[in-house]
C-alpha cells in the first residue's frame, strides 16, 4: 500500500511544487463566501475558531476542522488568498488518493479494481470545476464519497479503517450539517456489519485464533475514540463557554415544528443531483425525465449488485451498493427537512451516491479475471489499476492547476481585483487622513459579498475595527465591538446617502464603484456629528398637524429613535396617508440643515415658508433601506431665512411615521477634518 501511495503522490506533488513557484505573486481579492472562509482560517491561526461555516439562518455548521486543515498551507504561502483555493485542492486530491488506495486494498482479490475507475472517471469529469472550490457545499463532496468507500471497507472487516471513518465523518458533519443524517445512517450500517464480523472473529479466537489480532483491533477503536475527542473538542468548548452555544442553536432550529417538504417536492431535486455526473458525461441537461430514468436504473443496479456481490463473495462491492442505497433513502428524507426552498447546492454532495453504487455494482456483476501472477505480491490487474489511478490523479491535478490560475472565478476575477483593491486603497486613505481609530463596519445586505472582501482586507492588514452585531454570525464574535457606539462607522451601502444630490451631512463618501452589476457606496459615518450640531436652544413649536396619530410633541423633544425602531412606537408620530403633514417653526439661529428620523422605506417632502401661509418645495428626503425608523441628516439651502417648514409623506408603503425633526447648526469649534467638503448645499 505504501508503494501505491508513493507512486500516486510523488508525480502529483511535483506538479504542485512547480505550480506554487509561479502562482502567488499576483494580488487576489476574494469576496463573498470565499472571503468568509479566509477570515475563518485567519481566526484559526489565532486558535479562536471553534465553529464551522456560517449559515444564513444565524447559526454555524458544527465544527472548525476544515479551517484548521487549510491553515498549514495558508501560513506556509504567506497568507495568500489563493492558498485557500490551493488548500481545498490539496484536501480533495488527498481524499482522492485515499479512495484509490482503499479500493486497491479492498478489491485486491476481486476483478472490480479496474471497473471501479469507470465511475470514478465519470465523477471526476463532473467535479473538475469544483476541485479547487473552497466553498463548504463543494469541499464536502469528495470526503463524503471517501466516507462511503471507507465505511464499505469497515463493513467487510477492515477494522483499521475505523479512525479514518471517524475523521471523515467528523469532517463532513462539521462542515455541512445537512450531511449528518446520512453520515449517521451509513456509519450505523457499517458498524453493524463490522460487529457481525468481529463476533465471528471472537468465536474463532475462543477456539485458539489470533488473540494478538483481536487486541490490535481494539487498539484501532481506542485511536478512533481519541480522534473523535480531538475533532469535537472545539465546538464543545464553544457550547460550554456561553448560555446560547451553537449546539443549542442547532437544536432549537432543527427541533422546532415545521412543515416539511413532501417527497414529491424533494425527489426531483435529489434526482437531478444523482443524475448530474451522467448528464455531464452524455452532454445533456438534467431534465426531470432523464434524472428519473437514471435514478431508477441506479436503484436496479444497486439491488442487483448487492445480491450478486453476496452470492459471489464480493462483499466489498455488495457493501458499496447497500450503502449507496441507504444514502439515497436517508438523503431524500433529509432533503424534505430543509428550511425554505431546496437549493441544489445544499444537496450537491448527494451526487456521489450514484457513482459509489455504480462502482460496487460493476465490481459485483462483471466476470472474474484470472490473476496474471499468482505468486507475486501484486497481480497485473492491481498494477494496471494503480497506473489508471495515477493517471486519474494527474488529470485531476492538471484541472486543479487551471482552476487555481483562474481563481476565484474566470468571469469576474478582474472585477473583484479592480473594485475591491481600488476601494480598499480609498478606505485606507480616508482612515489615515482623518486619523480614524477602531471604526465599526456596517453592511447593507445587498452588497455583503463586496463588503466581506473589504472586511477581509482590513483584517489581513491588521486594522483595528469591529463589526455591527447583526453581522457577527457571519464573521465571528472576534469582531464584536464595544458597548458604546464608535465615533466613526464604515458603511457599505447599495444606495447613496444623499438628499438633493448632496451627501448627507454626517457622512463622507469614501468611494463609489460597480460590483456584479450593482452600485456600491462606501461612506464614513460620523456618529457624533448630529449630537454635536443638533440645535438645543429655545423649544421649536409644532404649528399644525393634519391626519396624524400620536403626540406631536415627540417630534421636537430632542430624542431621536434608534434606527430599526418600529414605526408606530410611542416615540413616533404616525402619518395617516399621503395627505398627512406636520408644520413647525424654524428656530432663530444659523440653521444649516435638518435631522429627520422617519420610516426608512418612505420618501418625505420638505416645504418651506416665511409667513406660514405660502409653502414652496425645499428638499425631497428619499427612502432608506432597512427595517423601521431611519435617521437622515442633510443640509438645506436658505433654511435659516424661513419661518416654518412642513413635512409631508411623498411616497412609500402607505405606513408613514416621523420620530424626530431637528435642526442642524454650525459649531465651528467642532468641525472635523474633511467636513468642509461636505458643506454642499442641497439643491
Distance CA 138, CA 310 (A): 34
Q: What cell was used for 493?
A: 451601502
> What are the domain boundaries of the chain?
20-235+261-405, 413-527, 532-678
pLDDT of 674 reads 44
For the chain, give the percent of residues with pLDDT over 90. Answer: 34
Instruction: Give residue-wise pLDDT tens across range 595-653.
Output: 999 988 888 899 999 888 889 998 888 887 777 888 888 888 888 889 999 999 888 77
pLDDT of 410 reads 42
Q: What are phi and psi of 181, to 5 degrees?
A: -60, -45
Q: What are phi and psi of 663, to 5 degrees?
A: -125, 140
- Would you say 89 and 132 are in contact if contact means Cβ atoms under 8 Å apart? yes
Span 194-212, average pLDDT: 62
What is the dihedral sign for C-alpha 640, 643, 647, 648? negative
Q: What is the largest CA-CA distance in the chain?
A: 112
> Which of 460, 480, 479, 568 has its CA nearest to residue 79?
460
pLDDT of 476 reads 92
Cα 210 vs. chain centroid, distance in angstroms? Answer: 50
> Residue written as cell 424661513?
642
Q: What is the pTM of this model?
A: 0.85
**Separation in Å, CA 525 to CA 55, 486, 505, 510:** 29, 10, 9, 10
Burial of 105 (0-12, 13-18, 19+ CB in 10 A): middle
If you write DSSP's letter for every residue of 334-391 in order, what string do you get? HHHT-SSS--GGGGGGGGHHHHHHHHHHHHHHSPPPPPS-TTSSS-HHHHHHHHHHHH
> Residue written as cell 413635512?
647
SS3 assignment, position 596 = strand
Q: What band does 331 get if pLDDT is binned at 50, 70 and 90? A: very high
Cα 621 vs. chain centroid, distance in angstroms? Answer: 36
pLDDT of 443 reads 94
Cβ atoms within 10 Å of 215's Cβ, excluding its own: 10
Cβ atoms within 10 Å of 216's Cβ, excluding its own: 12
Q: What cell was used for 584?
A: 413647525
Distance CA 665, CA 569 (A): 28
* Strands 498-499 and 440-443, sheet pairing: unpaired
Q: What are phi and psi of 597, to 5 degrees?
A: -100, 115
Q: What cell was used for 248?
A: 443549542
Distance CA 606, CA 280 (A): 60
pLDDT of 260 reads 80
pLDDT of 392 reads 62
Distance CA 352, CA 124 (A): 10
Distance CA 656, CA 355 (A): 58
> Residue written as cell 447593507?
444
Q: What band does 21 get if pLDDT is binned at 50, 70 and 90? A: very low
pLDDT of 186 reads 95
Distance CA 72, CA 53 (A): 18
Lowest mean pLDDT among 58-67, 96-105, 507-516: 96-105
> Residue written as cell 428550511?
339
* Torsion of Cα atoms, 467 then 471 then 473 then 476, to 10°: -20
Average pLDDT of the chain to the nearest whole number: 82
Which strand (E) or helix (H) includes residue 250? helix 246-255
- Would you say 141 and 66 are in contact if contact means Cβ atoms under 8 Å apart? no
Whether residue 683 has pLDDT greater than 50: no
Distance CA 392, CA 436 (A): 54
Which strand (E) or helix (H) includes residue 171? helix 162-175
- Would you say 94 and 84 are in contact if contact means Cβ atoms under 8 Å apart? no
pLDDT of 280 reads 80
* Strands 466-467 and 440-443, sheet pairing: parallel
Which homologous superfamily is 532-678 in?
Galactose-binding domain-like (2.60.120.260)
Span 174-185, average pLDDT: 95
Peptide bond into 408 cis (omega under 30): yes
Amino acid at each position: 500500500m505504501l508503494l501505491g501511495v508513493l507512486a500516486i503522490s510523488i508525480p502529483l506533488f511535483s506538479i504542485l511544487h512547480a505550480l506554487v513557484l509561479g502562482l502567488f505573486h499576483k494580488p487576489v481579492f476574494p469576496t463573498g463566501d470565499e472571503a468568509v472562509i479566509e477570515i475563518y482560517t485567519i481566526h484559526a491561526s489565532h486558535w479562536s475558531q471553534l465553529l464551522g461555516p456560517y449559515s444564513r439562518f444565524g447559526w454555524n455548521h458544527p465544527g472548525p476542522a476544515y479551517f484548521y486543515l487549510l491553515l498549514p498551507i495558508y501560513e506556509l504561502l504567506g497568507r495568500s488568498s489563493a492558498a485557500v483555493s490551493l488548500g481545498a485542492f490539496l484536501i480533495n486530491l488527498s481524499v482522492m488518493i485515499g479512495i484509490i488506495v482503499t479500493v486497491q486494498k479492498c478489491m485486491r482479490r476481486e476483478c472490480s479494481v479496474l471497473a471501479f475507475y469507470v465511475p470514478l472517471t465519470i465523477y471526476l469529469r463532473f467535479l473538475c470545476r469544483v476541485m479547487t472550490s473552497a466553498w463548504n457545499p463543494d469541499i464536502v463532496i469528495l470526503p463524503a464519497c471517501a466516507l462511503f468507500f471507507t465505511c464499505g471497507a469497515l463493513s467487510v472487516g477492515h477494522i483499521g479503517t475505523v479512525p479514518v471513518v471517524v475523521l471523515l465523518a467528523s469532517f463532513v458533519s462539521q462542515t455541512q450539517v445537512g450531511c449528518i443524517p446520512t453520515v449517521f445512517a451509513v456509519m450505523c450500517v457499517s458498524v453493524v456489519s463490522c460487529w457481525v464480523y468481529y463476533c465471528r472473529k471472537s468465536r474463532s479466537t475462543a477456539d485458539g485464533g489470533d488473540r494478538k489480532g483481536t487486541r490490535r483491533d481494539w487498539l484501532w477503536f481506542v485511536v478512533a475514540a481519541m480522534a473523535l475527542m480531538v475533532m469535537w473538542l472545539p465546538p464543545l468548548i464553544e457550547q460550554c463557554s456561553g448560555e446560547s452555544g451553537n449546539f443549542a442553536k442547532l437544536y432549537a432550529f432543527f427541533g422546532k415544528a415545521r412543515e416539511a417538504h413532501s417527497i414529491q417536492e424533494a425527489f426531483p431535486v435529489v434526482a437531478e443531483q444523482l443524475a448530474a455526473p451522467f448528464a455531464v458525461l452524455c452532454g445533456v441537461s438534467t431534465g426531470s425525465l432523464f434524472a428519473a430514468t437514471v435514478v431508477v436504473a441506479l436503484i436496479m443496479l444497486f439491488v442487483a449488485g448487492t445480491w450478486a456481490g453476496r452470492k459471489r463473495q464480493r462483499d466489498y462491492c455488495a457493501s458499496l451498493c447497500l450503502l449507496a442505497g441507504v444514502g439515497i433513502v436517508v438523503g431524500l428524507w433529509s432533503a424534505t427537512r430543509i428550511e425554505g426552498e431546496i437549493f441544489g447546492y445544499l444537496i450537491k454532495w448527494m451526487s456521489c451516491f450514484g457513482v459509489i453504487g455504480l462502482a460496487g455494482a460493476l465490481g459485483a456483476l462483471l466476470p472474474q479475471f484470472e490473476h496474471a501472477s499468482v505468486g507475486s505480491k501484486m497481480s497485473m490487474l492491481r498494477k494496471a489499476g494503480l497506473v489508471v489511478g495515477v493517471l486519474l490523479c494527474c488529470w485531476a491535478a492538471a484541472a486543479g492547476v487551471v482552476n487555481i490560475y483562474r481563481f476565484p472565478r474566470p468571469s469576474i476575477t478582474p472585477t473583484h481585483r479592480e473594485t475591491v483593491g481600488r476601494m480598499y486603497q480609498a478606505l485606507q486613505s480616508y482612515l489615515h487622513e482623518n486619523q480614524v481609530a477602531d471604526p465599526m463596519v456596517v453592511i447593507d445586505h445587498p452588497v455583503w459579498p463586496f463588503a466581506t472582501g473589504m472586511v477581509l482586507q482590513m483584517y489581513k492588514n491588521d486594522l483595528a475595527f469591529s463589526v455591527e452585531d447583526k453581522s457577527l454570525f457571519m464573521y465571528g464574535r472576534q469582531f464584536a465591538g464595544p458597548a458604546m457606539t464608535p465615533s466613526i462607522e464604515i458603511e457599505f451601502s447599495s444606495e447613496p446617502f444623499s438628499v438633493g444630490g448632496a451627501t448627507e451631512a454626517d457622512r463622507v463618501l469614501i468611494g463609489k464603484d460597480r460590483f456584479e452589476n450593482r452600485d456600491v457606496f462606501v461612506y464614513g459615518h460620523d456618529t457624533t456629528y448630529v449630537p454635536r450640531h443638533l440645535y438645543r436652544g429655545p423649544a421649536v413649536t409644532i404649528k399644525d398637524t393634519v391626519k396624524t396619530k400620536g403626540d406631536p410633541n415627540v417630534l421636537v423633544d430632542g430624542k431621536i429613535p434608534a434606527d430599526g425602531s418600529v414605526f408606530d412606537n410611542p416615540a413616533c408620530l404616525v402619518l395617516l396617508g399621503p395627505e398627512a403633514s406636520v408644520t413647525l417653526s424654524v428656530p432663530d439661529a444659523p440653521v444649516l440643515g435638518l435631522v429627520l428620523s422617519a420610516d426608512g422605506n418612505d420618501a418625505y417632502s420638505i416645504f418651506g415658508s416665511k409667513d406660514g401661509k405660502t409653502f414652496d418645495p425645499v428638499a425631497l428626503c428619499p427612502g432608506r433601506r432597512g427595517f423601521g425608523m431611519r435617521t437622515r441628516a442633510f443640509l438645506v439651502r436658505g433654511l435659516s431665512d424661513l419661518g416654518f417648514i412642513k413635512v409631508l409623506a411623498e411616497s412609500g408603503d402607505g405606513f408613514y411615521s416621523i420620530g424626530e425633526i431637528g435642526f442642524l447648526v454650525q459649531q465651528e469649534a467642532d468641525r472635523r477634518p474633511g467636513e468642509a467638503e461636505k458643506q454642499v448645499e442641497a439643491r
